[in-house]
Amino acid sequence: MTDSTVSTGELPDSLSRLYDDPEAEAATLRERAGNAAVADRVSCLCGALSNPLRLRLLWALRDGECCVCELQAAVDAPQSTVASHLGCLTDAGLVSTRKEGKWTYYAVADSAIFELIDRATELADVTAEGSEAATGADE
């Protein structure tokens, strides 16, 4: 558990000024805030997806497995960089490996990840359009 998730067990005094039953409200707020263990797992997943090169590696693997040299060509990055980012994706459970002689092949562990990536791409496009519209309105 990180320092930010350590519970003090005490309610802020201000809750008693806001609510007639601060204990009940705190319980409701805790329920809405979700489970810390689940949040940690989702944070790990989002962290693995938070790098543009790692996203490009996943896109390169979308239609099937590749070896490191194929991925190097796909993302135009050195072998050490590609290997490092593949390690991160593998550690997060997003990419699996298969050995064949001296070769290691990488594949997406679960194609469902592309549902999240595709939705995030749509959201990024909408956000960028909104940002451009807001910037244009200021001129």
The predicted pLDDT at position 2 comes to 47
Name the pLDDT band for 36 (thresholds 50, 70, 90): confident
Q: How many Cβ atoms from other residues are within 10 Å of residue 38's Cβ?
A: 9
Q: What's the whole-model pTM score?
A: 0.74
Name the pLDDT band for 114 (thresholds 50, 70, 90): very high
The predicted pLDDT at position 138 comes to 53
Q: Which two tokens stand for residue 93?
A: 């459970």
Name the pLDDT band for 22 (thresholds 50, 70, 90): confident
pLDDT of 4 above 60: no
Assign 19 to helix, strand or coil.
Answer: coil
* Domains, in order of start, for the chain: 13-50 (no CATH), 51-139 (1.10.10.10)
Dihedral pair phi/psi, residue 100, rounded to 5°:
-140, 100
Q: Which two tokens stand for residue 46?
A: 């989002």
DSSP letters spanning 34-53: --HHHHHHHHHHHHHHSSHH
